[in-house]
Amino acid sequence: MDAALRLGAADEAIAVLRETTPFGDASEALLARIAGIARRARYAAGARIYSANGAADDIFVVLSGRAEHVFKPEVGAREALRRVTRGGVFGWAGLLLGQTQRLATVTAIEPTEVLRIDTEALVGLLESEALEGGHVMERFATMIQREFTLPALLAQVRRLSGPLTEEMSSLSLTLYRLSLWLRSPRPYLMLVGFALFLGFWYLAVEVWKLPRFREMPGLTNVVREWLSPSPTYGLSLYIAEYYQHIAMSVWRVAQGFFLATALGVPVGLLLGWSRSFKEYVFPVFETLRPIPILAWVPLAIVMFIATESAVVYLAFLASFFATALNTMLGVESIDESYVRAANCLGADRWQVFRHVIIPGALPFIFTGLQISIGVSWFSLVAAEMVSGQYGLGYVIWTSYVMV
């Protein structure tokens, strides 16, 4: 029933490929080349599209209709059954490391038309387009884990071989992702948000003169003072001391953040992975975590003779709790079926920890790091107000006292 993809249907094929997760960000030229190696196939309702353990030689993209995708039990997918509709992609097992056989059985629920793309031809095409090809393969890995709920240990796609070295490929792929981000509306929406904030500030203080904002300086006054060589309040932008305070705060935050990351991530992994370790440590952890950072200031001054060490310690403390807690929650959020699947494949406890637990917790870890850098900043400024010399908190407190 297969037929060569007709030229008149190429536009439809490209449109459907653009709806898919792996190919959605690909360029028009790459989509056209993929459509050029694809073939159409039609299946009647109830027809078997392919069976488990068959040769994984084609990738399928649904043009119309619906199909039922059922994994083999030993695969360990969280959801064994999945309905695939227009824009759905299946038959990707040939893209996985060391996998040559089908992992599922797929049956047409109703009359279904698909694109069949030869796996090796697709890989060769992606290797010829190193930047976009690597991005497409990453999108395949994301789709396999999220949409098909395959364990991370299995959902490892093949690495493309190309003329670029691994280091250059990583740099080029990063630049390619940046170009995709800049082509999206997200960076410009961020600018709109800043513009709305500044616009409201200007209108509320200088135009509408709202009662709550009566004593606040207006936007134009702040900008004028900030750019003035001899400001009435605060430090001038044009003297070295201004940047010395900024550099000191950045250095303190960096020290506290990296120390908290080095300690918080391992502690969080152990809290989530080891029940006995959690029973010993977590009660103390939860007792100390809610204490406000300013309440630690007297103890920090007593513990550390040097004021500098006390300020870094306070930044570390605030960052540590956020990092450790989010890491622990990341480990606890991992579906138990992933661990069972790894055990069925012969993985020992260390391999499960390294290949399932750590990768599975990474989204939560990075969320924790994002939160911790923020709390590290505001705790640092508070600490500098009380016990610091130099730094942004010291400048804020000194300016307040002078005013």
What pLDDT, in 10s, does the model give residues 251-298? 999 999 999 999 999 999 999 999 999 999 999 999 999 998 888 988
Please tell me the predicted confidence (pLDDT) of residue 391: 86
pLDDT band for 174, please (50, 70, 90 cuts). Answer: low
Residue 128 has pLDDT above 70, yes or no: yes
232, pLDDT greater than 90: no
Tell me which CATH code domain 231-402 carries.
1.10.3720.10
Are 393 and 249 spatial neighbours (Cβ–Cβ below 8 Å)?
yes
* Residue scoring higher pLDDT (24 or 267): 267
* pLDDT at residue 10, as a whole number: 80
pLDDT of 182 strictly over 60: yes
Q: What is the pLDDT of residue 164?
A: 42
Q: What is the pLDDT of residues 342-396, one digit of tens each?
A: 888 888 889 999 999 999 999 999 999 999 999 998 888 878 876 667 888 888 8
Residue 208 pLDDT exceeds 60:
yes
Most confident range, picked from 214-218, 237-241, 320-324: 320-324
Confidence of residue 183 (pLDDT cuts 50, 70, 90): low
Calpha distance 156→138 (Å, rounded): 9
pLDDT at 1 over 60: no
pLDDT, tens digit, for every residue of 144-167?
888 887 766 555 777 765 544 444
Whether the Cβ atoms of residue 97 and residue 49 lie closer than 8 Å to each other:
no
Position 5 pLDDT exceeds 50: no
- What CA dihedral angle connects 164, 166, 171 and 177, to 10 degrees? 90
Average pLDDT over residues 26-48: 92
Give the fold, CATH level 3, of 3-161. Answer: Jelly Rolls (2.60.120)
Q: 185 or 110: whose pLDDT is higher?
A: 110
Label the pairing between strands 81-84 and 3-4.
unpaired
What are the extents of the domains in the chain? 3-161, 231-402
| Nearest residue to 400 (alpha-carbon basis) of 375, 381, 373 | 381
